[in-house]
Structure formats: structure tokens, C-alpha cells
DNA sequence: CATAGAAATGTAATCCTTTACATTTCGATC
DNA sequence: GATCGAAATGTAAAGGATTACATTTCTATG
């Protein structure tokens, strides 16, 4: 490949100045038709592409946003990412995906992108904002930091948030079980210290309180298939034995159902299971998993729009930042 | 947030030149101990971070590589990405993940990163190299283009490739079925025109040829859960009815097993199923899925190392570029 | 102590684009 | 055709780091 063409090369060939080339590219409306044509031809001839680094340096704006994901392998995040990308690419923004793998060190390394000019803003799907960054935000004068938390809220919530009402959604799931006659319930919860765990747990409790159902159990998981499988044994040892389980996510529900099947316990005949998220594998369990669907695509889209509003790329959207969930009735819950 | 500190601010405070600051940061060995200390203090005082755009512009190198994924939601890719990231971050390289969503337009937009200076190289997980880019590579004089195809090979293979021997792995899976007495086999294949489909199909055929097993069926899927579910009906209508199915990936196998269960067909008693990939959900099917495990983490690591060799960031690794698979015996295949 | 050579540091050019400001060109109007 | 205002274009500075080359400082040796 030859040396890359610069805007200067294009200018020379088109017989105009570099300023005009830049204008012909970005604001074609303000140059003469013939100039535009000449520049276009010169670009085609040279195969010119804008040097992004030079633009970023000059504009002091990267036109890129960072998306921090705790685990890119978690299918739950993928559709949110799709929503983010959809809005981003339509707005000419690049997204940089950072997989923190749950490590603080990596979180910080990625959030550095905010100050080293690599990105203009960040979307946090990891439910955490390192102390150092939070302080920086607090110290910031004028305007919100260009950060939006998505799906998993922050505590304290120092930046805008887009997601669902987890408490209400958990209440919905639990009430669904209660309405079908279940009186001994179990909640397969997420890891301790996680805000989603707390919110869903509290929705579960609220629903039982309201229904006047006193007996329930809690099993602590960590959102993985494995922990769902491990929960099966605990569940079967419970007394009184629960007739229904509300799992805080689908992965654990899927693991639980598989482990129960291995032990000869039938779902939903012996025990009903309802999940949370509606990941794609939820429809391929045996039986298909009844679960709470999160509007993931929409969450991603809304979050990205909100962030762009913060950055000033577009005016802030006025839609809701808590989106509606949907209960997907499939085959894993039976009435008693 | 105050105006960002530049290397000039640091230099002034430390009482040295910008050149020395740069050296203190990148090659601390060549500055005096006291100078290094002064610079470090000044950096701490100002909260200075390198402006990446300026560095990229000056060095003509982005220290970033593009990873093109057809669908980030596919769990298969996540662990490969983890391997890539592991090697990348250890080498100070940033990875830019591009989800092409199978769209040519997006592929091209992302590959533009190679020429607009946003990335120094690309890892292709999508099995495709747009014609325009292939031509550019062919026209390139001196050295290989900084592109490596991963997992899914290119046709023609114009750049280095890292993955597994798909033909041999499919042969392994099929032979496993034959050895367990199955004589009427079915291959649930991937989408037409996909190189993985062809390679796995040919491994399936080879194994049957060698074993002298003539009867087999082919069902065309598209690697999705849905297509696996749809395959169940076709499978049951086949005559003679296959006793075992080799699915070209786990998603389809999982869909197939679920759909068979709905129809009251038992796995593995009535029909055996073997998958391919060993995604995390493979251990939570009922029964747990016997499958071919790809060393995804290792594939990602090797690919990234190979790419860095091409870029010149490190010397090229001399390891194999076709890695070993492993047959995971679980519960979905029975002997006849 | 003079001096050579090595080590440390400094100076200033360079990477490429955008954009404020200056200048030219054009068309319309009197 | 002179003049004015608008439209189009040009000039050159700025953005922040790296690095080739130049210079200074240090160390060791005769």
C-alpha cells in the first residue's frame, strides 16, 4: 500500500485549499457544485480517507463512546449492545466495547478512555463506578459527566440511568406464581452486594407480603448456570419443599431445571420455575421457560440516546428511562 | 473538570522539557532517577493522562486492533474475544469490537478503520473479506496485510488463519457415533455457502465413507436455535429414521433436543445427538450435550499473537495455527 | 585538570485535520 | 459600471504528543 493520501494531496489534485476539501467533505452544501465534484474525483483518485486521529486531536472530540460490560459472553448484554450500536452508527459514533471481566483494574483502565480522549462518554453496564471516577464526577463543575448507567443501577445513582423497574418486575413474576396457587416459594437470588439482587429480592418480598404468603426460602446464586445447578440440591432439601421458584435470571433457571431433571424432579409438575431476562436459550429449555422479558434492544437504544444528549451530540431525548417488561408465559410454571 | 493537563504542563512543573517527560513515561530507564521522580510527581499533581489521539497521529500507529464479529450475541465468540483481549491488554493494545450483524455495509465501515488510522490490524471472525479489501491486500506490496482470520477460514485464504481443523473435528464427532453402532446418521448442517458448513459436512462424509456407512441424511440449518427446533420435524419424517444426529453447532443441537422433547422423542434413547463448540449452555441441556470442544480461549490468544507479529508489535509466534479439539462425552449419545 | 565518550536533556519539526479570520469572487441593484 | 452584501475560498494557527538531531552534563582516564 502506498503512503496514505492526506487532505493536502486531495487539495492539490482538486486545485483547491485543504480548508475547501474539508468543507466539501463535511458540509457539502456550502461549496460550489463544481468544487464538490472536483474534490470527490480527487478523493476517488487518491483513495483518501480521513485520518481519525488528526480529527480527534483537532476537534477535541473522539466521536466514540465507551461501553463497559462485565462479561461480553453473557448473552443478556448482546442485545443491549445491538441497540446501542444501532443508535450509535446512525449518529456516526463509534462504540468501544470494554469487557471488564469483573476486574477493577480493567474498569479503571477503560474509564481512562474518558480522559485520554479516546471516547467522549461511557455507558456502564457493570453496575459499578470506581471511587476515583465518582470523585472526579463530583468535582466536575458544570453539567453532568457524560456517563449513563444501563440495566444495572449505581448506588448512589450519580449519573442518569436507563433500565427497567426491577423491583416491580420481580413483584410481577412472584405475583404470577402466587396467583397460580403457589404458597411455598423460593427465590434463587443473585450474588450478594449486587444492586439487581437487592431490587429483585425486594420485589419478591413485596409480592409475598401483599399476598399474605409468609413461607419462603432464599437461595443465593451468582447468576451463572453452575450456581443454578448447585441450587437444585439445596432446593430439594428445603422443608417445606417449595412448589415454585423465582430465579433472578434465566441462566440460573436453566441450570436449575437441568439439575432437577437429572434428579428426576419434573418441571413444572413437581416444581414451577420462572426466570428473568428472556435470553434466547429460554425458549429451548425443557419445558420452555416462563420468564420476564426485558426490552433489551430498546434499553440499549434509549441509553445511547441519553448519552448523546449528555455529550451534546443531539438534544436529550425526553422518553422514559424505565422501560416496560413483559411476562412471557411458556411451560415452566403450572397452577396448583 | 479543569482543562486537561498536557505534557507541556507536566514539563513546566517538573522543570524539564516535554521530550524528557515523554521519555520518563515511556522509557524510564534512560532518565535520571531524580528526573523520573520529578516527572512522576508532576503527573500526579496535574492528573495528566496522555492524549491518545496526539500520540496516534504522531506515531502513525493506533495501538489498537479491530475485531470483526458477525454477531456479538453468539456465545461462541465471547470466549475467543476473552482470549484476544487477554493478549491484547498485556501488550498494551486496545481492541475495537465491530459487530457486523452480517451486513456488508457494516463490514466495510469497520474495515475502514484499517485505513483511517483507527486500528493497526484486524481479526476477522466473520469468515468474509469484502472484495474491495481483498483487492487492496492483493495490490499491497511488501509484507502481509495486518489481518488474520479466526475460527472461520476465508476462501480463498489470502491472510493467515487461526482456528481448528473443522474437517477432522467433524470426522471425530461422526466416528464417535459410528463406533457406538449408529448406522443411519443425519447431519444438521450450517447455512449454505458458509465455509464451516462445507468443512464439517466433508468431515461427516469422510467418516461415513471410511466406515462404509452409506445411509445418511442432511438437514440444512443456519446455526440458530430456531433452525435446530425446526429440524426436529424434518428429522422425524425421515425414512429410514436416523438414530443419531451430528449437529454443526451447539445452538442447533439444543434447539433440536428441545423440539424433540416436546414431541415426546427421548434423547439419547430414541435418537442420539452430538453437538459442536461446547458453549456454556451445552452442560445444561437435558440430557447434557455431548459435543466437540473448541479451545476458544487459546484460539483467541493465538490469533492475537499472530496479528501482533504481522503488525510488528512482537515477533511472530511459531506455534501451530490449527489447535486441538476435545470430545466432551456427556449424556446425549447412546450406544445402540 | 584536560578531554573523550557516554549519558542525559533540550529544541524544534512533524503527524493531519479543522476552523477562525481574511480575502476573493459573484450577482444584484442603483 | 460602481458598489454592496453574500457566498465561496484561502491562509495559517492550533491541537498534543513523539523523536531526530543538537547540546549540555557527567564520568573516567591519562
The string of pLDDT tens digits covering residues A95-126 is: 898 888 878 888 888 888 888 889 999 999 98
Residues A301 and A273 in one domain: no
Q: How far is A124 from chain B (nearest CA, A)?
A: 16
Region A2-14: mean pLDDT is 87
Q: What is the mean pLDDT of residues B274-289?
A: 96
Residues B73, A75: C-beta atoms closer than 8 Å: yes
Interface membership of A159 toward B (CB under 8 Å)? no
Chain A residue numbers with beta carbons less than 8 Å from the beta carbon of B118 are 52-53, 94
CB-count burial class (<10 Å; 0-12, 13-18, 19+) for A308: buried
* C-beta separation of A278 from A291 below 8 A: yes
B window 9-28, beta carbon within 8 A of A: none
Query: What is the distance between the alpha carbons of residues B146 and B160, in angstroms, rounded to a whole number?
Result: 9
Average confidence (pLDDT) over A48-71? 92
**Residue (of A298, A306, A294, A251) closest to A273 by Cα position:** A251
Is A268 a member of any domain?
yes
Tell whether A130 and A77 lie within a shared domain: yes
Whether B99 and A81 lie within 8 Å, measured CB to CB? yes
Would you tell me which residues 116-145 of chain B have a C-beta closer than 8 angstroms to some C-beta of chain A? Answer: 116-118, 136, 139-141
Tell me what pLDDT residue B301 has: 95
Specify the CATH number for the domain of residue B258. Answer: 3.40.50.2300
A174 or A105, greater pLDDT: A174
pLDDT at residue A79 in the model: 86
What's the pLDDT band for A91 if we cut at 50, 70, 90? confident
Closest CA to A125 of A71, A190, A201: A71
Question: If you average pLDDT over residues B139-153, what whole number do you get?
Answer: 79
Does the nearest atom of strand D lie within 7 Å of B141's Cβ? no
Quick one: A135 and A284 in the same domain?
no
Q: How many CA atoms lie within 13 A of A105 on its CB side?
A: 2
Q: What's the mean pLDDT in B326-333?
A: 97
Residues A170 and A277 in one domain: yes
Core vs surface per residue B148-162: b (16+ CB within 10 A) or e: bbbbbbbeeebbbbb
Assess if residue B1 is contained within a domain: no
Residue B332 lies in a domain: no
Beta strands in B5-120 (DSSP E): 64-69, 94-99
**Choice between B138 and B254, residue whose per-residue pLDDT is larger:** B254
Q: Please tell me whether residues A170 and A159 are part of one structural domain.
A: no
A179 in a structural domain: yes
Q: Are residues B41 and B84 located together in one domain of the fold?
A: no
Task: Judge if A103 and A215 occupy the same domain.
Answer: no
In a domain, B330, yes or no: no
Helix ranges (DSSP H) in A18-140: 18-26, 33-46, 52-59, 75-90, 104-111, 131-139
Residue B19 CB lies within 7 Å of the nucleic strand D: yes
Find the range with the poorest average confidence among A72-81, A128-137, B59-68, B194-203. Answer: A128-137
Looking at the partner chain, which of A53, A71, A136 has a beta carbon nearest the beta carbon of B62? A53
Q: Burial, B39: exposed, middle or buried (Cβ in 10 Å; 0-12, 13-18, 19+)?
A: buried
Protein-to-nucleotide distance from the CA of B32 to the C1' of C11, whole angstroms: 20
A146/chain B closest Cα distance in angstroms: 12
Poorest-confidence range of A101-115, A202-216, A248-262, B198-212? A101-115
Interface of B with A in 76-95 (CB under 8 A): 78-79, 81-82, 85, 89, 94
For chain B, the first-to-last Cα distance in angstroms comes to: 71
Between A133-147, A201-215, A222-236, B170-184, the lowest mean confidence (pLDDT) is in: A133-147
pLDDT band at B315 (very low <50, low <70, confident <90, very high): low
Q: Is A73 inside a domain boundary?
A: yes
A177 and A114, same domain (yes or no)? no
Q: Is the pLDDT of residue B1 over 50?
A: no
> Is the confidence at residue B115, as pLDDT, over 50?
yes
Q: Are residue A201 and residue A216 in the same domain, yes or no?
A: yes
Sheet holding B161-164, edge to edge: B94-99, B64-69, B121-124, B147-150, B161-164, B322-323
Question: From the CA of B142, how many Å to the C1' of D21?
Answer: 30
What is the model's pLDDT at position A231?
Answer: 97
Neighbours of A178 (CB within 10 A): 18
Q: Containing domain of residue A101, as a range?
A: 62-163+296-323
Categorize the per-residue pLDDT at A1 as very low, low, confident or very high, splitting at 50, 70 and 90. Answer: very low
Nearest to A256 by CA among A201, A328, A170, A187: A187
Question: Cβ B53–A140 below 8 Å, yes or no?
Answer: no
Residues B154 and B209 occupy one common structural domain? no
Residue B157 CB partners (closer than 8 Å, separation 6+): B149
Number of domains in chain B: 3
A267, part of any domain: yes
Distance B312 CA to D17 C1' (A): 22
Beta strands in B151-284 (DSSP E): 161-164, 185-189, 216-220, 244-247, 272-277
- CB of A17 nearer than 7 A to strand D: yes
Q: What predicted TM-score, i.e. pTM, was given to this entire model?
A: 0.89
Spacing of C-alpha A6 from chain mean position: 38
Write the CA distances from B97 to A87, A118, B55, B70, B212, integer angstroms. Answer: 16, 14, 21, 10, 45
Which grid coordinates are listed for B5?
Answer: 493537563
Mean pLDDT rounded to a whole number for chain A: 91
Integer Rg of chain B from CA: 25
Sign for the CA dihedral angle at A102, A258, A325, B73 comes to positive
pLDDT of residue A317: 64
Tell me which protein residue sits closest to nucleotide D14, measuring alpha carbon to C1': A58
Q: Is there a single domain that holds both residue B182 and residue B264?
A: yes
Shared-domain flag, residues A205 and A95: no
Task: Tell me whether residue B86 is in a domain.
Answer: yes
Q: Which of residues 30-69 of A touch B (CB under 8 A)?
A: 47, 49-54, 56-57, 62
Task: Report percent pLDDT > 70 for chain B.
Answer: 94
Amino acid at each position: 500500500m502506498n503512503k496514505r493520501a492526506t487532505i493536502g494531496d486531495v487539495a492539490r489534485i482538486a486545485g483547491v485549499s485543504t480548508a475547501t476539501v474539508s468543507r466539501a467533505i463535511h458540509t457539502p452544501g456550502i461549496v460550489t457544485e463544481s468544487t464538490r465534484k472536483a474534490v470527490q474525483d480527487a478523493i476517488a483518485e487518491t483513495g483518501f480517507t480521513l485520518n481519525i486521529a488528526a480529527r480527534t486531536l483537532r476537534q477535541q472530540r473522539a466521536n466514540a463512546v465507551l461501553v463497559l460490560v462485565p462479561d461480553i459472553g453473557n448473552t443478556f448484554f448482546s442485545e443491549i449492545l445491538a441497540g446501542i450500536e444501532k443508535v450509535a452508527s446512525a449518529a456516526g459514533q463509534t462504540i468501544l466495547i470494554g469487557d471488564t471481566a469483573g476486574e477493577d483494574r480493567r474498569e479503571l483502565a477503560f474509564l481512562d478512555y474518558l480522559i485520554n480522549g479516546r471516547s467522549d462518554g461511557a455507558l456502564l453496564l457493570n453496575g459499578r463506578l470506581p471511587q476515583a471516577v465518582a470523585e472526579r464526577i463530583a468535582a466536575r463543575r458544570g453539567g453532568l459527566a457524560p456517563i449513563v448507567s444501563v440495566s444495572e443501577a449505581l448506588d448512589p445513582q450519580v449519573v442518569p440511568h436507563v433500565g427497567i423497574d426491577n423491583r416491580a418486575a420481580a413483584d410481577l413474576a412472584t405475583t404470577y406464581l402466587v396467583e397460580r396457587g403457589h404458597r411455598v416459594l423460593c427465590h434463587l437470588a443473585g450474588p450478594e452486594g449486587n444492586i439487581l439482587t437487592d431490587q429483585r429480592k425486594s420485589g419478591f418480598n413485596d409480592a409475598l407480603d401483599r399476598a399474605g404468603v409468609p413461607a419462603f426460602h432464599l437461595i443465593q446464586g451468582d447468576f451463572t448456570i453452575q450456581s443454578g445447578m448447585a441450587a437444585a440440591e439445596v432446593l430439594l432439601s428445603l422443608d417445606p419443599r417449595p412448589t415454585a421458584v423465582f430465579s433472578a435470571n434465566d441462566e440460573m433457571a436453566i441450570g436449575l431445571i437441568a439439575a432437577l431433571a437429572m434428579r428426576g424432579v419434573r418441571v413444572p409438575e413437581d416444581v414451577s420455575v420462572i426466570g428473568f431476562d428472556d435470553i434466547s436459550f429460554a425458549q429451548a429449555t425443557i419445558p420452555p421457560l416462563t420468564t420476564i422479558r426485558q426490552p433489551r434492544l430498546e434499553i440499549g437504544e434509549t441509553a445511547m440516546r441519553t448519552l448523546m444528549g449528555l455529550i451534546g451530540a443531539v438534544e436529550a431525548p425526553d422518553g422514559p428511562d424505565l422501560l416496560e417488561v413483559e411476562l412471557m408465559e411458556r411451560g415452566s410454571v403450572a397452577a396448583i
